[in-house]
C-alpha cells in the first residue's frame, strides 16, 4: 500500500493519533521527533509536538509502551519508545475498529455515489 502523496490535502482526525503512534512504534522503536514527522506523513497533518509527546507519555503510563533514554552522537539523549505486549493488543483492537469504520464509510460512499448517479439521470 502506498502512502498519500506529500502534497495531498489529507488530514486524518486527531483521534487516530494513538493507533498511528502504535503502528509506527511497532514498526521499530524510535524517538518522539521522528514519530511526529512519520505521523504527519501518514496523513495526520494537524499533529503537533506537544500532542504527540502528551499521547506518548499517557500510553507509557498505561503500559502500552516503554521508553528509555538513549545517548545521541549528534545532540542530547533521546527517549526511545518500544511497544509492550499490551500495546500490541491495543493496536490490534484499534485496527479492528478502524477497519469497521472503513467498511461503514465505504458503504456510505457507495450509497452516495449511487444516489448521485440516480439523481443525475432524472
DSSP 58-88: HHHHTTSEEEEEEEETTEEEEEEEEE-HHHH
| Model pTM score | 0.80
Residue 78 pairs in a beta bridge with 70
CA dihedral 110, 113, 117, 122 (to 10 degrees): 100
Q: Please identify which residue in the block is written with the cell numbers 496523513.
A: 43
CATH of domain 14-120: 1.10.10.10
Over residues 50-97, the pLDDT tens digits come to: 999 999 999 999 999 999 999 888 888 999 999 999 999 999 999 999
How is the chain split into domains, by residue range? 14-120
Amino acid at each position: 500500500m502506498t502512502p498519500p502523496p506529500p502534497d495531498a490535502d489529507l488530514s486524518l482526525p486527531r483521534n487516530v493519533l494513538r493507533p498511528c503512534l502504535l503502528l509506527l512504534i511497532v514498526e521499530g522503536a524510535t524517538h518522539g521527533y521522528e514519530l511526529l514527522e512519520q505521523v504527519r506523513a501518514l496523513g495526520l497533518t494537524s499533529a503537533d509536538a506537544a500532542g504527540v509527546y502528551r499521547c506518548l507519555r499517557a500510553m507509557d503510563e498505561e503500559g502500552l509502551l516503554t521508553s528509555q533514554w538513549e545517548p545521541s552522537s549528534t545532540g542530547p539523549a533521546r527517549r526511545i519508545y518500544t511497544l509492550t505486549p499490551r500495546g500490541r493488543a491495543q493496536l490490534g483492537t484499534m485496527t479492528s475498529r478502524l477497519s469497521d469504520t472503513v467498511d461503514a464509510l465505504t458503504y456510505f460512499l457507495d450509497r452516495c455515489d449511487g444516489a448521485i448517479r440516480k439523481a443525475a439521470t432524472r
